[in-house]
Structure 1
Amino acid sequence: MALLSFFIFILALILCTSVLLKKFSRNVQKKQSLSLPPGPMGLPIFGNLPFLNPELHSYFTALAKTYGPIFSLRLGNKIAVVISTSSLAQEVLKDQDIIFANRNVPIAGKVGLCGGSDILWSPYGPEWRNLRKICVQEMLTKSKVDSFYDIRRREVRKRINSLWVRRKSLVDVGEEMFMTVLNSISTVLWGECGKEMAERNLGIEFHHFVEELTMLVGVPNISDFIPCLAYFDMQGIEKKMKRLVTKFDKVFELMINERMREDDNNEKKDFLQGLLNLCKGEGDTKMPLTTTDLKTLLLDMLIAGTGTTSNLMEFMLAEMMNDPQIMKKAQQELEVVVGLNNIVEESHIHKLPYLYAVMKETFRLHPPAPLLVPHCPSESCTIGGYTILKGTIVFINVWAIHRDPSFWENPLKFDPQRFIKSKLDYSGNDFNYLPFSSGRRICPGIEIAEKMFLYLIASLIHSFVWKLSDGEKLDLEEKFVFALKKKKPLMAIPAPKLLSPALYE
């Protein structure tokens, strides 16, 4: 059987090679006849695939210095275009937003998120608008976010107490932040059913799940670019993703089925109950939800709300520890507004402009999705004077835009003061600063992410002095896994700084 499989593989490879060589020849002729963006020469069949660096954000930034602010790569039988300036980003995300509002869904996205039918990957259209509208109405409006404050407060206070119990011990900062955000969001999503995750110790497993899922989605997969080889799953990405999602799909099904069996379910106010009511045809949605829709929305909210948020918090604390003056200024602001004989409440947050500026500078230097989620034009069009063909994979390199020296003074320096002077925000209206994208595909969860982010980080630096182990050096190196995270986890020691132990209870 092994020998037969080998011969089948070789035969398929020969056939693919023949087909792709012909297609490559046609593509070269087509490229010569069209004004496509410039870019590096690639190999026959594979194009530039063999030369891709895993750190795509910095690799694309380096290529832009050679080929310009818009360049193209041939990846197998697909064309990718990378955009690295704010003016070109505006053409894509505003001027021709509706054309670029679609996605090129990778196999990992299809397997991991129910065929790519979720908010992240769904094509622009009525179904996508319906899913987004439901998420906003049921969870992400300002009034909804404000109503979840008691949940956020409880989880933050539990984490502060847990760190106080382990005071002067080394802790994994990213893990602590992830678990706090996960417990908060899971309670918002399905209320007391969220205890299922804690009781079965699924929290840490879910952290690994989110990290591996984003890694698999972010890895260039030869099956996506040379479809005739997809059957062989040569990198094992499809197999790994199927294995990854099976366990948590069963957990979601269990929670959904238990809720559907309850008699008093209509009195519950969490996100899950809102979705179940819509599945029954209640509400003003014109498209009733399916069970698949329900699971993908739950998974979307969990993944989007946990991994990127905790990654950014870890970067922010690391940057403040790396510059004691920034940490001192942020803590002094908290001491004035809150005091060392009191604990942080969300009502204090709007009185902390410097901490807010530190957060915005973190988003600038370490954007959560440095290449955003790739866009895909629904028709051929022109950007920057170049032809962008229908179906092209379009990357917006916000990591490069946020470090553009023509706009940002001393762009590689972590300097929150620049946001004290500037009125730039992340609403997507200024294309020099796009941590959450812009246009129709802008992140819908900015409000809830901002609240949780500022409240938790303020509580951590107000309650503790953070230090490294003796002899350790702080490492701020990044790692690209679709999202951006610290390459080396931040391990730090919290030392209590409030005046009374009772403030840690």
Structure 2
Amino acid sequence: MAWLDSLTWFSIISFLVALIFWYKSRSNSSKLRPPGPPGWPLVGNIFDVGRMPHENFHKLRSKYGPVVWLKLGTLNTVVIQSAAAAAELFKKHDAAFSDRRVPDSLTACGYHTGSLSQSRYGEYWRVLRRLCSSELMIQKRINASAPLRQKCIEGMIQCIKEDVSGSLVGGGSGEVQLDKYLFLMSFSLVGSFMLSRDIMDLRSEAGNEFFDVMNKFMEWNGKPNLSDTFGFLKWVDPQGIRRNTEKYLGQLLNLSSGFVKERIQERQLGRKQESRDFLDALLEYQGDAKRTFDKLSEKNVTIMILEMFFGGTETTSSTIEWGMSELLRNPDTMKKLQDEVDRIVGRGRKLEESDLNNMPYLQATVKEILRLHPVFPMLLPRNSMQDTEFMGYVVPKNTQIFVNAWAIHRDPASWSDPLSFKPERFLGSDIDYKGQNFELLPFGSGRRTCIGLALGHRMVSLTLASLVQGFDWKVISPQTLDMGEKVGLTMRKMVPLKVIPTPRL
């Protein structure tokens, strides 16, 4: 049996050699990866995430630098936390990091398969991006839709006036909760912009129902999900997050589907819109012989319409609510902004969108709101498509990439007195929010820049200026100015803003 003994020894030696090579390669690979805190067995760095991941990741920078490596369960993760590191990513490695890491909750109802923001990087994403760029967010269409914005904002202001008046007549304080007005106004505006029609009265029961369902959808998407950090748990969905997301997402998709089916029926009957809108563009899309699909399915059109509602309502309304909160905490800034509006517009007429270009302090204020309160504090997570050398480190394929915009916007290396609300820092400054100044990235940069950047900025600027022109504002309780954050799919105020508006026009 000597041959068996020799074979056994050969196997043992081969195993030991392979083990040594594996250990060395693992050690070398670890040395090439970015620095980060040591993790626990199996769970890795999950306990470093906490309830406020953007804040907790920011704290790691002082010890580990602007590029931090984390192991979240089975998921490799890199966090980018400086303007220089963000510039390196977006300028040199944007293509390698253009894929998307999709949360398990957003695979409910197949949402990720039709979404622009959540779809994987590839042919389908490029088609949608090109359609949005050429049909929805062109400057000519945005300019032409100015009367729609004016109408929706004036309708919101009238609702606020009526509700305050009704409250005072009934012996109340005249206090209103601002977020619902902002949300429904934004929803109506985006719907009018995409569908060329008034879709919702701010007082309608459907509007309130949509607001409530959206809140529940956001709440479930904000819960830390074990299925995202341990992929093998996805089939179990142990916390029921995907199941509950599917419930509320299904209701929202039904609303969007109604708009799509109605338009399809109108087209079949030969009825056409006065002007071609975004829904028409989606339904009319025809690919070419080189593509794997020649048109968008009705389901994907429905998902795209809903995504435009998501992007235009939640982000806009949250940003304005944060802005009003900061103005109420900083009455001198509020006074300066009202003075600028009165100087340019006066009190004899309503502010118009064309006035915004003459209001540098308003534009500086909006930039400062976006700096301190980015709606997506870590943008949307990207995914590396290949092993990539990044700033002297190796980022392996299928690594989740977070760009911590919240931390970058508070970096003392880029901003003086970074925690203070000071719009003056932008007066005379060339720093903009369009993705070329990497110290200010509320909308991201590169291929995955937010497609609604230009429209969103106009909506925020016009609404904020109109609210400041139309009312004087105060709060009953300091608690409503609590600036605590509630992080979900977006970053909202923990305590909704309740205010007492007094008409000034």
TM-score normalized with structure 1 length: 0.88
User: Does 2:27 align with 1:32?
Assistant: yes
Amino acid of the residue matched to residue 89 of structure 2?
Answer: V
Q: Which residue matches 1:367? A: 374
3-state SS, counterpart of residue 378 of structure 1 = coil
Q: CA-atom RMSD, angstroms?
A: 2.4
- Show the counterpart of 1:101: 98
1:456 aligned residue (460, 463, 474): 463
The question of whether the paired residues in 2 share the 8 Å contact of 1:46 and 1:76 is answered with yes
Paired with 1:214 and 1:28, the residues of 2 have a C-alpha distance of 44
- Given that 1:265 and 1:273 are in contact with CA atoms closer than 8 Å, whether structure 2 keeps it comes out as no
Aligned to 1:13: none
Aligned length: 471
Moved over 6 A (4+): 26-29, 197-200
Shift of 1:29: 7.1
> Are 2:487 and 1:497 aligned?
no
CA contact (8 A) 2:69 2:79 kept: yes
- The answer (yes or no) to whether the contact 1:223–1:233 under 8 Å persists in 2 is yes
Q: Which amino acid letter does the alignment assign opposite residue 280 of structure 2?
A: Q
**For residues 379-400 of structure 1, what are the alpha-carbon distances to aligned partners after superposition, in whole Å with 9 as ceiling and x for unaligned?**
0011121110000001111111
Q: CA deviation at 1:433?
A: 1.0
202, 210, 214: which one aligns with 1:210: 214
Instruction: Check the 8 A contact 1:401/1:433 in 2, yes or no.
Output: yes
From the CA coordinates, give the structure whose radius of gyration is larger. Answer: 2
The aligned residue for residue 263 of structure 2 is: 259
2:232 is aligned to: 228
Out of 185, 200, 203, the position equivalent to 1:180 is 185
What letter corresponds to residue 238 of structure 1 in structure 2?
R
**Letter of the structure 1 residue corresponding to residue 233 of structure 2:** L
Letter in 2 for 1:265: R
Give 1:74's aligned residue. 71
Query: Which range moves more in the overlay, 432-441 or 128-137?
Result: 128-137
Q: Determine helix, strand or coil for the equivalent of 1:466.
A: strand
**Per-residue deviation, 1:310:** 0.6
Q: 1:23 corresponds to which residue?
A: none
Q: 1:171 aligned to 173, 176, 179, which one? A: 176
- Indicate which of 135, 140, 164 corresponds to 1:138: 135
The residue that corresponds to 1:273 in the other structure is 280
Q: How big is the shift at 1:478?
A: 2.0
State the percentage of identical aligned residues. Answer: 32
TM-score (norm 2): 0.88
For 1:31 and 1:303, the matched residues in 2 are separated by 43
In the other structure, the counterpart of 2:253 is 249
- The aligned residue for residue 125 of structure 1 is 122
* AA partner of residue 496 (structure 1): P
- Comparing 185-194 with 302-311, greater Cα deviation is found at 185-194
SS in 1 for 2:235: helix
Determine the C-alpha separation between the residues in 2 that align with 1:415 and 1:117.
40
Please tell me whether the aligned partners of residues 105 and 116 of structure 1 are also in contact (alpha carbons under 8 angstroms).
Answer: no
In 1, Cα distance between equivalents of 2:24 and 2:73: 16
Cα distance between partner residues in 1 of 2:338 and 2:287: 50
Cα 1:27–1:123 change in 2 (3 A) is farther
Contact kept? 1:278, 1:285, Cα under 8 Å: no
1:244 is matched by which residue type in structure 2?
Y
CA distance in 2, matches of 1:55, 1:496: 38
- Residue equivalent to 1:239: 243
1:475 paired to 2:482? yes
**Between 112-121 and 181-190, the greater mean CA deviation after superposition:** 112-121
* Superposed displacement of residue 54, structure 1: 1.6
Q: Which has the higher contact order (CA 8 A, sep 6+)?
A: 1
Q: Which moved more, 1:247-256 or 1:211-220?
A: 211-220
SS at match of 2:285: helix
CA contact (8 A) 2:378 2:405 kept: yes
Q: Distance in 2 between matches of 1:176 and 1:280?
A: 40
Change in Cα spacing, 1:335 to 1:288, as seen in structure 2 (3 Å) is: same
1:467 positional shift: 0.5
Q: What amino acid does structure 1 have at the position aligned with 2:193?
A: V
Segments of 5+ residues of structure 2 without an aligned counterpart are: 1-20, 169-173
Closer, same or farther in 2 for the Cα pair 1:216/1:28, shift >3 Å? farther
The letter for the 2-side match of 1:339 is: G
1:107 touches 1:238 (CA, 8 Å); kept in 2? Answer: yes
CA 435–134 in structure 1, closer or farther in 2 if over 3 Å, else same: same
Partners in 2 of 1:418 and 1:407 — Cα distance?
Answer: 12
Counterpart of 1:79 in 2: which secondary structure? strand
1:354-408, Cα deviation, whole Å (9 max, x unpaired) = 0110000000111121101111111001112111000000111111111110110
